[in-house]
Chain A
Amino acid sequence: MKYLITVALLMTSLTTLGNGLPDGHPEGGASILPADHDIPKDEFGKMVRQGQLIFSNTGQFAGAYVGNDLSCRNCHLDQGRKAGSAPLWAAFLSYPAYRAKNHRVNTFAERLQECFVYSMNGKAPPLGDPILVALESYAYWMEKNAKINPLLQERGIPQLQKPGTPPSYERGKTVYANNCALCHGTSGQGRRANDGHMVFPPLWGDRSFNWGAGMAHLNKAAAYIKTNMPLSLGGSLSDQDAWDVAYFMDGHNRPQDPRYTGSVDETRALFHRTQNSLYGHLVAGHVLGNDPVSKN
């Protein structure tokens, strides 16, 4: 039903240039999203709040399915609202969709499962698990109550043009030291609050996302960094700096790809046959993927 409404809205906006859309609908601008105080105070609202808790403190509220120190909100900024940080509400509107990653049409819930397997280096909550229901409810609530730009310009991560010069580990190291180490630590280990909460997520090593995550791809990492980093200063790095520092980040070891076949070469041939993945490459003295625990 929701999809019918969405399609109807899309068609209306395309055919009548916005006539007939609700007042205040941002036809050309950014979508307007609901605030937390709009969450209904009923059984559905409780599930939405639970989804928000899981999204913000994933290890605490979905610990059985998390294998690292990350939370959803670490990348999906503003609790899954922010444009250009793969916002949750726009993802909700983008599924079911065919994905080259697994060669089939995935539902939104299946896409969430992948986040747990790769980005969270954990395992997939079964379909129908309250954890997935809560996250779906949170995403649906956000989308349902938003005034959405019909072109969905905020979805995913904006693509970044190829750099003028091939990305460099050494240049990336300097960019990292000057712009990233302050929060993510000199060894990419992240930083915890004084009370123990992980605040700045680890970017590589055994407590970060694994080799199967989207962020382990240079194009996605560079685009994400350019758009969103450093926090509050998104867009301040040059395109070249973003590519270089993405190369530096993804040029370190991280947890093994869960699709690992027993051979790095074979895993690379099957799942990393792209210049955007450094898996299986020799970078800074390490064959990436060979040594799942970072010693760089």
Chain B
Amino acid sequence: MYKTKYFERGKASLKALLFLPLAFGTHAETSLSQPLISAGGEGSKFSEAACAGCHGNEGDGNAAEGIPRLRGLSATYLREQLQAFASDERKNPVMNSIAQTLSTDGITHAANYYAQLPPLYRPLGVKAESDNELATHGRWGENIPSCDDCHGPEGKGVGENFPALNGQPALYLENQLQAFQKGSRPPGPLHLMENIAKKLSDADIRTISLYYSGSTPMTTGGQP
């Protein structure tokens, strides 16, 4: 259900993106030092404005559309994802088309730009202990570590290879865990995420995704 929604919205976003140079044209002259996305030569350059159309200003993401927050993710991780989009190993119609037009430098610039923006975290809360059981304890009887074991306390991310989960839209996290299950994105280093995702039920995925998005109903902690 969510996957379908994402792709439908995705198509709409792609259409919108094609008009971005117009939509952002006047704004660009005053606030952007980077040139807008443009075909030609060995590929297009990175455009903050073009990415912002979907990923929001400063890469904050879009929860309703399931579009990920990019700010504060590692440059290595972002570069690898753009390369995987370009080679179709990570499948997403919108991002595949965009990444395929980007030059190698364009990919590097995009990755570096979002990596240098400070991350934003959300307070995570739970109503019942089962709401974050997998996220913080895992299910070791099936050899599933907790998400926090690798992604850090409250999923704030560890180094270059374990991106922050905290604050990502629930819809995005859900889509990614399903993509790991189906092989529609690369399996991650050592196939760790493919291996783990395949042990998760739809309900597990929903619970984990809500928890890290900060949208689980809370009894403790502040509201984001």
Contacts and interface: CB of A to CB of B under 8 A. Distances in A.
A232 B192 contact: yes
A232 B192 CA distance: 7
Q: How large is the interface on B (under 10, 10 to 19, 20 to 34, 35 or more residues)?
A: 20 to 34
A195 B140 CA distance: 26
B190 A197 contact: no
Contact of B192 (A30, A78, A230): A230
Contacts of B157: 193-194
A187 to B, nearest CB: 13
B150 A231 contact: yes
A249 B196 CA distance: 26
Contacts of A195: 121, 152-154, 156
A160 interface: no
Interface residues of A, number: 25
B137 A36 contact: yes
Interface in A139-197: 179, 182-183, 191-195, 197
Interface in B74-125: 119, 121
A133 B149 CA distance: 26
Nearest to B149: A231
A193 B156 contact: yes
A229 to B, nearest CB: 11
Contacts of B151: 193
Interface in B120-172: 121, 129, 133, 137-138, 140-141, 143-145, 149-154, 156-159, 161, 164
B207 to A, nearest CB: 15
B189 interface: yes
A226 interface: no
A161 to B, nearest CB: 22
A37 B132 CA distance: 12
B72 A78 contact: no
Given A193-B153, A194-B164, A78 B189 contact: no
B195 A233 contact: yes
Contacts of B161: 182
Interface of B: 72, 119, 121, 129, 133, 137-138, 140-141, 143-145, 149-154, 156-159, 161, 164, 189-190, 192, 195-196
Interface of A: 30, 35-37, 77-79, 81-82, 179, 182-183, 191-195, 197, 199-200, 230-234
Closest 7 CB pairs of A and B: A193-B152, A78-B140, A194-B157, A37-B129, A195-B156, A231-B145, A82-B140
Given A199-B149, A233-B190, 5 more contacts: A30-B141, A37-B129, A193-B152, A231-B150, A232-B143
